[in-house]
A and B are shown apart, each in its own frame.
Chain A
Amino acid sequence: MFRKFAGLGGCLTLALLLAAAMPGSVLGASGAATTATTHAITVTAWQAALIAIGYYLANSPWLFGLAFFTLYRPLVAGFFVGLILGDPAQGTLIGAAINIPYLGFISAGGNLPADAGFAGWVGTTVALASGLDATKAIPIAFGLGLLGTIIFYGRMAIDSVFAHWADARAEKADIAGVALMNWLPGQLLLFVISFVPVFLLALNGPSAVQDALNSLPLWTVNGLVIAGGILPAIGIALNMRFIFRGSAIPYFFIGYILMTATHGSLSLVVVAAIGLCLAYLHLSFVRRDAPAPAPARAEAVGRAEAEPSTGVAVSTGAAGGAGAPAEAEPKVRLTRGDLVRSWMLWTFFAHANYNYERLQGTGFAHAMTPIIKRLYTTDDEIRAALKRHLVFFNTEPNFGNVVHGTVIAMEEQRANGAAISDDAINSVKSGLMGPMAGIGDTLSQSTITPILLALGIGIAGGTASGSAVPTLSGATGNPLGAIIYIVLVSIVIVAIGYTAWMAGYARGRSFVTELLKSGTIDRVLIGAGVLGNMVLGALAASFVVVNLAPTVTIAGAQMNLQAAIIDPLFPGALALGLVVMTWWLLRRRVNPLALLAAFLVFSIIAAYPFFGPGQQNSGDYSYQACTSSLLHQYSPCGAPPVPTVVPAAAPSTQPSPASQPSASSQP
């Protein structure tokens, strides 16, 4: 299945990359290919290497587990590529644009719909170095993102082998060896398969893309710009699947209207502040879909309670007790340092050897090494403990840390003589990892990250001004968008991970049930839904662009429907309609990738000059050129030019060369 997507992406990008003659483009953008309107940057080998290292880091464990939330996101990648290539503002803007189709991006349980990191790092490099504007970068980068999944899936398959190397070390009770096998071979492999393709693409991609674009007819390039305004609807609608529900729906429209009514002059920070206030009011006064303390659920529990409760080996007190077993002085106690070290190892290395066979299995064992070292002394005990924790494991690596905390408490009690069987530990691990991942992914991947990303993207590209509906092409990037996002997401994610870990250890299973029963998580999700809808609506207003080109004649007057009627009544109504339609189609289970392909094809067709001669060159903004296609790339075409009185004066001056060539060439 993924091969098909990757193949599609491969065709898309390779066609663009290879269409141009390769020999001419050995080192970066060649000067000859530069058109008058773009200012290209030549990517040096050093810069390409830095970019390739950046992409590797985005998938690596070295950034305290935060790479997936920061460097992996195109907004952040764009900022750093911009820094490397010397234009952080434009880089951030391009990254922000590339990020929008990935707003609803989720990777769970070893499944990756597209490689957003690849799209961000390579896409920004290609666009920035070849002087493309941000809108054209969106469709090109999306193709790259599909291509990038090859790297992820290749790694997932090969890393399984290293899990068996870890098994062999566990057999020898070699704690350090298990830890080493979790990160060293997997990271060496990842470095090679990440660095090489990105380095080559960063070095050669820009000139190839530029040559390809130069050899395409002008209208297809306009089609790419139109697609850059339409494809963001998919990213926004994918994200709407999570939060555009129930009584939170109106906030999306409030966000949208706030933005269009102020002609895009509101900062996204202001929209978010209003969103926070409304979220508080909503939680206090509306909250119609709030959890009634579950009569339906009680019924469900009651039904199951009819079953005989044979109770697996754990007695209720075993792992749930707050603190140490009271009976005797414990033989071995874990120190706070052990717990923190274990948490750090997990936070760093949970995904260092992510693979199909065990997913985070070796990462879990790696995190347990300080605990095992403290609690167990004989080789037999160590071997058993290592093997116990090398099995299949997968959860959300932050909120899911409740599982680790709970398991560590059980291990401690077991080492002190409590009757806790392997089965008891396994059943807590395998029973809790799923539900905690469900909550964790909902929190981190489909709520916190997209909202903060939307905020960052809005700030990064939010300085557009002038037109009735702000457009990306008129914007100058703002690196603050990326920086604010990095700071906020890092704080929130680390705070959740640490709290869950320590609370899981201190209060064990009772923490899980108490937290879930308290309704805190539901409240957070409802509030975040309000805020998220506001920000997403505002973002849709800034980044989804639909411009009708042709004019119609009504009552003798030639006019553009959008410019003359729709936008004055409800600015941006067409784009809003497109977003809602996209959301509706996704809900009807239309495949997002099929939708993407359809939108791309539609955009190109909509740029074809059906109704006139079309643009003569990229600087041709004449009325005829504008109204020749179905959609226009930059703005709805205005009224026809008023016939001027100049013609009388014109013949007296020099005849323009354009007006007479055929006449003068006649013998």
Chain B
Amino acid sequence: MSLRLVRIDDRLIHGQVVAGWLRTIGAERIVIVDDATARDEFLREVLVLAAPQGVPVEVHDVASGAARCSELAAAPESVIVLARSPRTVLALRQAGVPIEVVDLGGMGAGPGRRRLHKTISVSPDEMRELRELEQLGTRVEIQIVADDRPIAFRSLDSGN
């Protein structure tokens, strides 16, 4: 079933993902791609243990994540890919991972970040990376929980 959901969420696994997305789309595996998390033994362990039973979790850095995602995209399993930032997804895309849609699920606010929609804020750099993803043919959408209707990033991008 390929990569069922590729989601940018700075909290990675949490309630919306576990109690919402996972059940709704019936995903069988979660792949987390994040350099910092892959380096932190404790966080890696927590993420792997915190997923609901029966759903294996893998934590990868970008390099090994790209290979693994390409492999899984060709497999029949239904997979959720979680990343913290647009940069990671862009790197995956540039490494040849077939990503049709990327979902912006949670990007916290902070200094220098502009709010796009509800809990989705972006920095100028991330704005550029998202536009680049669109240019590479990946649709960027905001869909915080599965029962929401997706909003096209393009419709919120005023171009500055």
Contacts and interface: CB of A to CB of B under 8 A. Distances in A.
Nearest to B10: A430
Determine the main DSSP class of A at the interface with B: helix
B137 interface: no
A555 B148 CA distance: 51
B23 interface: yes
Interface stretch (A16-24, A102-110, A321-329): A102-110
A522 B48 CA distance: 14
Interface stretch (B73-81, B93-101, B108-116): B108-116
Contact of A291 (B41, B45, B53, B118): B53
Contact of A435 (B40, B50, B118): B50
A438 interface: yes
A140 interface: no
Given A434-B13, A438-B17, A513-B49, 9 more contacts: A289-B54, A299-B56, A311-B41, A432-B46, A434-B12, A435-B12, A437-B15, A441-B19, A516-B50
B46 A587 contact: no
B44 A304 contact: yes
Main secondary structure of the interface of B (DSSP, over half): mixed
Contacts of B25: 589
A109 B53 contact: no
B108 A300 contact: no
Interface residues of B, number: 58
B18 A438 contact: yes
Contacts of A108: 14-16, 19-20, 145
Nearest to A431: B43
B20 A106 contact: yes
B91 interface: no
Interface in B90-131: 106, 108-110, 115, 118-119, 121
A525 B24 CA distance: 18
Contact of B46 (A111, A391, A512): A512
Contacts of A394: 11, 14
A394 B17 CA distance: 14
Contact of A427 (B36, B58, B106, B109): B36
A241 B13 contact: no
A427 B43 contact: yes
A517 B50 CA distance: 9
Interface stretch (A271-279, A356-364, A454-462): A356-364
B39 A308 contact: yes
Contacts of B51: 438
B47 interface: yes
B43 A433 contact: no
7 contacts: A109-B16, A111-B16, A300-B56, A356-B109, A356-B118, A435-B14, A438-B51
A108 B41 CA distance: 27
A455 to B, nearest CB: 20
A438 B50 contact: yes
B64 A241 contact: no
B16 A301 contact: no
Contact of A304 (B24, B56, B59, B146): B59
Nearest to A320: B42
A358 B15 contact: no
A301 B48 contact: yes
A309 interface: yes
